[in-house]
Every structure is written in structure tokens, then in C-alpha cells.
A and B are shown apart, each in its own frame.
Chain A
């Protein structure tokens, strides 16, 4: 029902949405969420690939899933650090608009 290709399409759609969110939104929190979305899009692809290989009964069967688990863990840590940085930005800049962060340039 869910072929590899369709999973990958969904994954690609999610990834693109994430990229758009990162690029297009001002609010750092939204940007953070979009970043998570990108990672999760890839997770979907990984799991899909893993599933596909499992169907072929290859040795690499579940690596995709393991990879995805690792990514989830990493993403959690990243979110923690990210949020604390957002907090820092709010304290120093009284703003969480990414476009305000432009004192350094050139």
C-alpha cells in the first residue's frame, strides 16, 4: 500500500516544507520547528529504505530504523540546545525575529 516511492515523496514533501519554513519564517521558534521537520522527513526516508531492504531480506535490513532512532535522539539534544539559544537571544535582543539578528555583517 505504502510503496517506497510514495514514502519518499512524502519525505521529500516534508523536507521541502521544512526548508521553506526555515527560509521563510521570521520567528526563531518556527524556524526551529521547521528544522525538526527536516530531520523527521529524513527519518521517514530512512525508515522507508530500511523497510524496503527488509523486504529484500538483506543484511542491512534494520539499519535504517536504527539510524532513525539515533537521529531522533540527536534531534532531541539539538532541540534542547536550540531552545536555550533562543532563550539567550530573547534575553539579549528582546526579539525572536531572525531578521533582527543582523548586527554582524560584512
Chain B
């Protein structure tokens, strides 16, 4: 199919136009205008992206490229405002525009009563535009524009209800945590430019391919390298990838930069669904996939990524166990799932990571929007302890939640099952078979953590469903009668997402399960093959592989089932047991979990407070006292004191004047004479 490459630019530009229209005229033109502009433009983007996707599939070429204009060009540094549409971009683009459109539609209902309706849609459109720029960017700098842009939108949308200072604080926190990551990102970009002489993805990858020996000095790759020419290429690549990963930890909320994400739930729920679950937070994963060859060159970095991913997954899951705010549970769950994705990358299973990005986008968006429906119905009550028994009033939403929970818990043949299983298998493979034939203890540890997380995930998700929908109602009496199912486009969005959550797994069915309906030999690993991303497991014969895969699959399903069962039991019949634990032996443990492992407090005590205090002390001591007081004021004082001294010397007495005169003359005479005598 013919596809004009210049249409690519339209994909991000259309939502941008939406932003401008809604931002400038939205308030005057009324809600209908806003809704139409706000939704139609992302949907159009989706359509264009889909056409481009079809064109890409139909064509031989790897990617569709379009250069909008030359952006920065100084000497050897050249960056274009250019877009690339290859397999990876296509997938991300479709996810962003597709889910984005659905969430836009949902928002028309969710935000109906808000006075800043137009502003909301403007921001949402702007976000879509930046996110598309991020995934379409042809080089690191365009990506960075999107990267920072989505951060900005996240900031704006978290603090959307800016009358409440807490919301703004959350937004600011998100921005600043992201900035810390961006610092790493920027340094990574500098290093890449220094090593490869370009920030263009294609050129970087060409450079990576030309590397034959990572122990060779860097100057062998880039003879113009002004510095660090003697350092081994591998070392530099490790540095680069670690820096970029720091950027990713900020954006994708990994240890140690994750605390902003739970706070980000202060924003309206569709925002949480779009930005803080489905799209923006996965851009770190996208970055790693985009530079896969580079990351693959550095086993050290991959090890770090795996460790961080596994730890984050587990930590977030542990915290999620005891949260009572429905969105906070989902937020920690998101952090945890993002940890999974990074764990996958650390294991070298990029395609699994991307696959999980996609399925996670489906079911997490679904869950968030579902929780939005609950919150909407409950008039912005988010505390699950004040819910319960909503199944009767909100059967549809209940269904949605069940689907989402099953998907995320990895119940077989739901979308999450496929992606999570692939990730766990990659971990299992590394832990018990090893990429290089050797088995490492840390890989086994990480796998154990990931598997444990799977169980915990199933547990806290079902706990959430149980607390919200089952049991007896704790709903405020005044609210009870008003609880109702959402209307308008909201159920539509939910339904579509539900379908995707159920069947999304078909996108990347492992070869092992090719016998499933609608699948076939040729339809396995669709996503992986299309994007060209690595699988973790190579160099092993098929039988052995299948054996390993079955083992892993059974373990993960088993763990998930255990989690579900435990939740079912504890929040149903075993309630007393739970209460006993919470109030007794486990009191301290629960408190740790409830308080999010005191991480915010640690940050406050270790970084924020000392920094502020130091700043203040420096202001008083160095700036005001030392520089302004002693140095500046002091020198002025010295000069003025001299002036005062000389002024006082003028006593007003004629004899004193005469004496000055006479002495002056005498002194001159003496000097003169001594000079004359000395000379002659």
C-alpha cells in the first residue's frame, strides 16, 4: 500500500493542533467543540499510524522515514527533526494512539463536570503529541523532546486540579524525579555523540555493528575522539547504557526514582491510565528496546537492569499489598509491572519486555479506567475501606475488574499470561540454563523475586477486587443511592480494552503454544518478529527448550494461582486469620508496607532536608556574610575608614597646616639629598 512518508509528521502534529485549538479557543467554543477536536485528532492519528503500519508490513523496507527540517547543525553536530516508523515505533505508535484515543473518549464522560474541561483535553492532546514524538523520533534528541514533553504534560496533568497544593506538589515531585533521570539521559547522549559522532539511531546502530571487539580502545571506533580514546569501547558502552538506564529509571519509575509515580495518582484517573500506566512510563522500556544492540553489548548494564527490575517489581508488589487507596494499589502494581519489563530487558528478552508493555497497556488502562468508573460513581472517593459490595451496583465495572485482574495475574490465555510467562521464562532460562552455559546465583535470585512477585500481584489484585466489590458495603449512606454505572463513551472504551486484555496475548504467542486456536506455527512471535527484537533464549535445541518452557509455565501459573487463592481465602472466609495477622504478629510488617518502606521519608531526611538546610546556611554564611559582608562590605569599609582618617587629619589649625607643609618640604628635601648623595 502506498504511504506518503510525509504523513508521518502528521501523527504527532495532529494532536498538537488539537492542543493549540483547545488551549486557545476551547474555553470559548464550548464542550462539544472541545470533545470533537480533542478526540477526533488522536483518532485520526491512529488511523494514519495504522495505515503506516499496514504500509510497513506490506513493504520490504525496514522503516519509513521522514525528515521535517534540519533542527540543529553546528560543525559536526547535526540533528534533524525527523521521524522513523519501524516495527518498534509502529507498535508503540499504535498503542499510544489506540489506547490514547480510547482514553480520550472515556474522558469525555469522566471529565464532564469539570470546569477546566478544555484545558484537560488540551493537555491530553499535547501529551499524545509528545508521546508520539518520543516513539517516532529518528534520533535521541527528538526522542528527548518527546521525553521531556511527556514529563511536562505529566506535571501539568498531575497538578491538573491545582487548587489543591498537594496535587501540585505531586506534579513537581514527578517532574523533579524525572529531571534527575534526564540528567543521566543527557550524559548518555553526550557519550553517545562522543563515541559514535551522531545521535541518530540508524547511525548509532551502524556504529554498534562495526564494533568487533569491545576491549579495543575507543579511538579505534572514532579516531576523532577527543578524549578517553584509550578507554575500552566496552567500558564506554557500559557507561552509556547505564546513563541511559538512569534516564529510564526516572521515566519508568524504577528504584531509586520511583516514588513519584504513586503520588502522580493525584491527577484525574484517565491521566493515570494514559500516562502513568499505558504509555509514558513505558518509554524507558522503549528506549532500551530502541537501543537494543547497544545494551546487548554490555552484560554489566544488563545485570544492573535485571537487578533493579526484579527489586522494583518485588518492592512495589510488597507495598501494594497493604494500600487502601484503589489508585495507589494500581500505581504500585504499575511500578511492579514496569520492574518486570526491565527484568526482561536485563535477561535480554527485549521482545518479551515490549510485549509486556503492550499487554500491560491494555489491562492496566482497563483497570485504571475501571477504577475511574468506581471513583466516578463514588464521587471521587478512592479509599477502598469505604467501598465494598459494589458488585451489585456496578456489575459491568465489576466484570471489567475481574478481567483486568485475571489478565494481570497471568491466568492462562488472558493477555497478561503470555507476556508475563515469557518474561518469567526468560528469567528461568537464565537462572537454570544460562546464556553462556553457566548458571549464576544472582540470576536465580532475580528469577525467584520475579516469581514471588507474580504471586503477590495476583494476591493484591484480587484483594483489591474483594475489598471494592465484594463483601459488605461500607459505602457512606449518603452516597449509596447515587452509585451508578458510567454512561456515554465510558463503557465503550472499557469494553474495547477488556477485549484487548483478554485476547491481546495473541500478538506474541510463544512457539510452544502454537496449537492454540487462531494461532499457528507461522503466527507465533508476531510482535517479536515484526519488531526484530531479541528473544532471550537462543542456542538451545528445541526439545530442551520446550522442557524448560513447560517447567517455567507451570511454576508461574502455579504461583499466580496460589496468590489468587490466598487472596480469595483471606478476604473471604479467612478474614479472621488476616485480622489476627494484621493486628498481631505481622503488625510491624504491615506497617512497613503501609508506609511504603519509608522511602519518601528516607529521601526527605537524606536529601531534601539537608539540601535545603545547606542552601540556607550557604546563603547566610557564604553569600550574605562572607562575600557580601566581609569581602564587598569590608573593602568598602576599609576605603571609607582611610577616607575618614585623612579627613580627620585636616584639623583646621593653621600651625598644623604649616607643619604639614614644612614637614612635607623637609621630607622631600631629605629624600632628594639622600638620592643625590646615593647617586653621586
Contacts and interface: CB of A to CB of B under 8 A. Distances in A.
A and B touch in the complex (CB under 8 A): yes
Interface of A: 19, 22-24, 98-99, 101-106
B506 to A, nearest CB: 98
A23 B662 contact: yes
B652 A22 contact: no
A99 B658 contact: no
B652 A23 contact: no
A19 B651 contact: no
Contact of A23 (B648, B650, B651, B658): B658
29 contacts: A19-B662, A22-B658, A23-B655, A23-B658, A23-B659, A23-B662, A24-B655, A98-B653, A98-B654, A98-B655, A99-B653, A99-B654, A99-B655, A101-B652, A101-B654, A102-B651, A102-B652, A102-B653, A102-B654, A103-B652, A104-B652, A105-B650, A105-B651, A105-B652, A105-B653, A106-B647, A106-B648, A106-B650, A106-B652
Contacts of B654: 98-99, 101-102
Contacts of A102: 651-654
A98 B657 CA distance: 11
A98 B662 CA distance: 17
Nearest to B655: A23
Contacts of B650: 105-106
Contacts of A99: 653-655
Interface in B620-672: 647-648, 650-655, 658-659, 662
Nearest to B665: A19
Contacts, number: 29
CB-CB nearest 3 A-B residue pairs: A105-B652, A102-B652, A98-B654
Contacts of A105: 650-653
A22 B658 CA distance: 8
Contacts of A101: 652, 654
Nearest to A104: B652
Nearest to B646: A106
Nearest to B658: A23
Contacts of A106: 647-648, 650, 652
A22 B651 CA distance: 18
A43 B650 CA distance: 33
A102 B650 CA distance: 10
Contacts of A19: 662
A98 B653 CA distance: 8
B655 to A, nearest CB: 6
Nearest to A22: B658
Contacts of B647: 106
B425 to A, nearest CB: 95
A23 B654 CA distance: 9
Nearest to B659: A23
B662 to A, nearest CB: 7
Nearest to A103: B652
User: Looking at B648, B651, B655, which has the most chain A CB atoms within 10 Å of its CB?
Assistant: B655
Contacts of B658: 22-23
Contacts of B655: 23-24, 98-99
